Amino acid sequence: MTATVDVYYRSGMISLVVNSTDKPNFDSTYVHAEPYLGKQQLTVAASAVSSSAAPTDTSYAQVIVQPGRKVRYEVNGLGRSVDATAESPMIFGEALIALGQGQTLSVIEDAT
């Protein structure tokens, strides 16, 4: 089987003012800064695949995994090169992963 993983490279988050009469009353919320810096779609299977290097000004990656699928990942770059394995951290759904300029993600489909 395979899983589709969308990787959006993001520069940061910004705070927006919230005006609400509902309780509880929060005065702000955080959202992704737009536009995103780059996007890549990975097709993930039993062998690890790597993303392209994150572009300049990237501070994190928004990773969206195909519904019903799970993947394992490793962050690489800055002298580190590790393929994702069955023992790597797992994500499903959506996750935000700290990732800087030039770093990559190694991703493999979770077999469990």
Locate the domains of the chain by residue range.
Answer: 3-109
The per-residue pLDDT for 17 is: 84
Cα-based angle 72, 111, 48 (whole degrees, multiple of 5): 45
Do 39 and 94 form a contact (C-beta atoms < 8 A)? no
Is the pLDDT score of 43 beyond 70?
Answer: yes
Tell me how far apart the alpha carbons of residues 63 and 98 are, in angstroms, rounded to a whole number. Answer: 11
Is the pLDDT score of 111 beyond 90?
Answer: no
For the full predicted model, state whether its pTM sits above 0.85: yes
CA 101, 35, 95, 7 dihedral sign is negative
Per-residue pLDDT of 17-31, as tens digits, reads 877 666 666 678 899
